[in-house]
Amino acid sequence: MNRMKLNVMMVAFAMVFVAFAGCLGADDDVIDDVIIDDTVTTIKIGLLNPATGPIAVYAPGFEDAANVAIEKLNMGDSNITFELVVADSGCDGTQAATAAQTLVDAGVIGIAGAACSGATLGAIAVASAAGIPMVSYASTSPAVTTADDDGFLFRVVPSDAQQAVALATVVAGSSATNPGVIYMTNDYGAGLGDNFNASWTGGVCTMVGYDPTEGSYDAATLAGAVVDAGCDSAVLMSYATDGAAIMEALSAQSFTGSVFGADGLADSAFGDAFNDLAALDGLVATKPRPGAASDAKATFDAAYTAAGGDAGGIYTHETYDAVNIIGKAAKMVTNSMQGSDMKSALAMVGNDYDGASGSHTFDSNGDVLGTGYSICGFVLMGDTMGFSCPSMWTADAGVTAAPFEGTTIKIGLLSPQTGPIAVYSGGFDAAAAIAIQALNLLDSDNYQFELVIADSGCDGTQAATAAQTLIDSGVAAIAGAACSGATLGAIAVAKEAGIPMISYASTSPAVSSADDNNLLYRVVSSDALQGPAIADVVTDANYTNAAILYMTNDYGAGLYDAISGGLSSTCTASGYDPTEGSYDAATLAQSVIDASCDSVILVSYATDGAAIVGELAGLGFSGGVFGADGIADAGFISEFTDNSSLDGIVATKPASASDSARRLAFDAAWIAGGGPDGAIYTHETFDAVLIAGLAAMAMASTPEITDIVTALSLTGNNFDGASGMHTFDANGDVAGNGYSICSFSHDGVDASFSCDRTWLDGVITVDA
């Protein structure tokens, strides 16, 4: 959780709250608990914040939101100054009562809080006796409705009598039939647990209560009760610290069922309470839903984001509203309704109040109806925990998709859908789509990512046109191109528009020195490294008289130079234009035969490479055939009519890191989606799109990051990706992870492709 900087907040409010200036008048009348200093009236508003205790991880968000409200109130009347006084409720009734007395003694006119229901019930006994109203921003227990509060207790969140119905509906929708319920025995947990049990139409596997005070429960025993009873799911009515302990215990006991929770867990900061983030993966939790799009909500969101607030924080809209409602009531008492008291003023302000958390009207118990519940989920992608709320529950419609009210970020992909490596484009497109799915799991409430694909044609001119198409569509960054010439053609256009590119497959050394205004990056290493790797592979196979057939484009020419520099001698070398119709495969193959070469190295793409291999086979060539990443893909097989000629071909391609968490996550998604084994540059495409998206989101959400180059430099620093650990150097290059050594084989019927060796720093090893 980022702490807000006061100067940043003041600037933000000067922009977004200017419309409020002058809306309310002022005079110098005195009311109870208001301090007069000549012409300026200071009004103190208390905040009961759980800075310690089981939900302390959420406390910074509550205080941030309260400060946003105070700054908003202070923009409205130059003769009134609002001041926030914070006391620690500890999420405990006794501590909250003491904290409430501290606030009363400090001269507050009203108290926002508490968060925990037990704390609210403990505090109201003190506050009501002093005639100080409270507006809770997070207490949802049904017991709050019937509290002995003398009419001084209000809240801007609905009772858990509703949330229990929403949670039961969500659990039932997951196909769970036998849930175990683990609930706190305090006011919040017991009330929610009882109401869930009453709302659940099937059988409850087990119900286990516990005291959430640290040291008063054993998480392993609680988890064991669910496991031992054979429950197919677990429903937690808990806070953060205890909830994390129970979920980790469930994971340690190999519980494979779904885990659900309520608003005590539904905050992006919940992950901070875990030692093992994997135990949080897959949790689904409900929380009161902020209201529909409104000026009040947009105003808060803009100011809160501009000042550095965490957009995934729970009950921040509600905290903002609670403080604002108290402040508006205080202004009414101070200025326009002489003799009114805070209790009646709050009832007036809270009548069709258009707040950031929804439209609220206090009933006779100080309750509100709410606007339904957000259904949120935690998803672990590599080492990043995503939190988003893509669905919602309302009493009239049940579970539906939540309307998106945030920012859409478009990421472009230059894909070679036509041209000599078109056979590989399906893999690039699919890998990019997986990255977009991963990005959309990070914070779908505020950011939605969209992939826009354009055909590079593996050609510089066509790629330049395609890049302009992507730019015109509004992309924030471009992943691609694949072919080096296409990348160099596209960056000439992209740099003029200030749009960065991250190539997932362009390996030419020329990319390092391109005129790119520092906007060109890549997640593959330069062929200055692949050349020596290929040379070592050929030498290791005991060939000493190799021919090199190479394309004369940026990729082919650069790699040819690197390979030839690593060989002690070359049998013959022939360059060619790979454009279809511009080369004669038979002539190229014949040059190898005529020179009596014992092997041939192809620096080619798929279409031209297959044509040359076919001609070599037709001429009876029996030497070794080697290639680079242009053919190191299972898709190369589909270029052949007679794939028996593939047998024995060896090719290199950049290796991926074997221990990358994101690689494991990507591989799982790739397999689940039916992606073929052996597809080239799919891990790199995923990383390029992911880095582009994360950088764009960082720039959109972090005021301190003002340009995309800075965002990319920060994101691409020790980035633990699916294709390895990457850090961009001054040229936008990465060191890479060595090269996989792959081979094609033919069993008499079918051809196959596999990679079983690795070259790294001049050493060839057999993969484990």
Amino acid identity, position 579: T
pLDDT of residue 28: 32
- Topology agreement, domain 6-157+291-369 and domain 409-524+661-737: yes
CB 580 within 8 A of CB 420: yes
Q: How far apart are CA 446 and CA 301, in angstroms?
A: 10
Q: Answer whether CATH 1.10.1760.20 is correct for domain 6-157+291-369.
A: no
* Three-class secondary structure of residue 355 per DSSP: strand
Q: Which of 2-16, 247-261, 325-339 has the lowest mean pLDDT?
A: 2-16
417 or 308: which leads in pLDDT: 417
Which tops the pLDDT comparison, 368 or 403?
A: 368
The per-residue DSSP string of 335-351 comes to IISTT--HHHHHHHHTS
**Residue 142 is encoded by which pair of tokens?**
């049904």
Residue 180, pLDDT > 60, answer yes
Looking at domain 527-657+741-766, its CATH superfamily turns out to be Response regulator (3.40.50.2300)
Q: What pairs with residue 136 in β-bridges? A: 155
Instruction: Give the pLDDT score at 6.
Output: 26
- Is the Cβ–Cβ distance between 216 and 242 less than 8 Å? no
CA–CA separation, 388 and 424 (whole Å): 33
Q: In what order do the strands lie in the sheet with 572-576?
A: 572-576, 546-551, 599-603, 624-627, 650-654, 739-746, 751-760, 763-766
Closest CA to 549 of 524, 577, 507, 518: 577
- What mean pLDDT do residues 637-643 have? 92
Q: Indicate the range of 124-128, 267-271, 744-748 predicted with least confidence.
A: 267-271
Mean pLDDT, residues 505-529: 94
pLDDT band at 337 (very low <50, low <70, confident <90, very high): low
Q: Given this model, what pLDDT does residue 229 score? A: 97
pLDDT per residue over 545-577, tens digit each? 999 999 999 999 999 999 999 999 999 999 999
Check residue 175 and give its pLDDT: 85
The pLDDT of residue 8 is above 60: no
pLDDT class of 327 with cuts at 50, 70, 90: very high
pLDDT per position as a tens digit, 271-286 = 999 999 999 999 999 9
pLDDT of residue 421: 93
Asked whether the beta carbons of 281 and 379 are under 8 A apart, the reply is yes
Contact in structure between 1 and 64 (CB atoms under 8 Å): yes
Which band of pLDDT confidence, cut at 50, 70 and 90, is reported for residue 29?
Answer: very low
State residue 24's pLDDT score: 27
pLDDT in tens, 676-691: 877 889 999 999 999 9
Q: Which CATH superfamily is domain 409-524+661-737 in?
A: Response regulator (3.40.50.2300)
CATH topology of domain 160-282: Rossmann fold (3.40.50)
Mean predicted confidence (pLDDT) in 497-502: 97
Inform me whether the pLDDT recorded for 659 exceeds 80. Answer: no
High-pLDDT (> 90) share of the chain, %: 76
pLDDT at 531: 95
What residues does each domain of the chain span?
Answer: 6-157+291-369, 160-282, 409-524+661-737, 527-657+741-766
Summarize the confidence of residues 399-413 as an average pLDDT: 91
- Whether 717 shows a pLDDT value over 50: the answer reads yes
Q: Roughly how many angstroms between the first and final C-alpha of the chain, as a whole number?
A: 42
**How many whole angstroms separate alpha carbon 576 and alpha carbon 595?**
17
Q: Label residue 1 by pLDDT band (50, 70, 90).
A: very low
Q: Are 384 and 371 in contact (CB under 8 A)?
A: no
pLDDT confidence of 336, banded at 50, 70, 90? low
359, containing H or E segment? strand 358-360
Residue range 635-658: mean pLDDT, rounded: 90
The gap from C-alpha 627 to its chain's centroid, in whole angstroms, comes to 38
Q: Which of 629, 627, 621, 649 is nearest to 753 (CA)?
A: 649
Look up the pTM and report it: 0.66
pLDDT(730) > 50 = yes
Instruction: Calculate the average pLDDT of the chain.
Output: 90
* pLDDT tens column, 225-235: 999 999 999 99
Q: 431-469 pLDDT, tens per residue?
A: 999 999 999 888 877 899 999 999 999 999 999 999 999
Average pLDDT over residues 318-334: 94
Across 62-77, average pLDDT: 91
Within 8 A by CB and 6+ apart from 544, the residues are 568, 569, 598
The alpha carbons of the chain give a radius of gyration, in whole angstroms, of 32
pLDDT of residue 39: 64
Cα–Cα distance for residue pair 98/94, rounded to 1 Å:
7
Maximum CA extent, the chain: 108
Are residues 531 and 566 in contact, defined by beta-carbon separation less than 8 angstroms?
yes
Taking residues 19-43, what's their average pLDDT? 44
Burial class (CB in 10 A: 0-12, 13-18, 19+), 7: exposed
Cα of 723 vs its chain's centroid, Å:
19
pLDDT at 26: 31
pLDDT of residue 14: 29
Asked if the model's pLDDT at residue 292 lies above 80, the reply is: no
Q: How far, in Å, CA of 124 to CA of 99, rounded?
A: 11
